[in-house]
Amino acid sequence: MSKGIVVKALDSAGGVQLAGGQNFFQVDGQDVVLLGDPVQGHGLQPHASPVMAEASSWMNLDGVPVCQEGHKATCGHASTGRSWFTLPDDET
């Protein structure tokens, strides 16, 4: 099974994905989200300033793992992703 890649502004994990870890690889005209990239705050802690806490072991950009649909932010919310640009699932 494969899951969609996560991008800035078009995807969310409780709040909108803000990205910021890189600006050279885009999908749908938006930066791809990496492990540690911020998510827009959407409430009190742990939702006030979450970052992406899970990412792919299969693909990285400059050594930083790329986030996929279903990966969670530090607030516990799972991210949406691009349905047409998928990466292999991390599970074996």
From CA 3, how far away is CA 20, in angstroms rounded? 21
Give the fold, CATH level 3, of 1-87: Tumour Suppressor Smad4 (2.60.200)
Domain limits of the chain?
1-87
pLDDT of residue 91: 53
Q: With CA atoms as reference, report the closest residue to 59 among 19, 10, 2.
A: 2
Q: With CA atoms as reference, report the closest residue to 80 among 34, 14, 31.
A: 14
**Could you give the 3-state DSSP secondary structure of residue 2?**
strand
**Using one digit for the tens of pLDDT, what is the confidence trace for 22-73?**
999 999 999 999 999 999 999 999 999 999 999 999 999 999 999 999 999 9
pTM of the model: 0.94
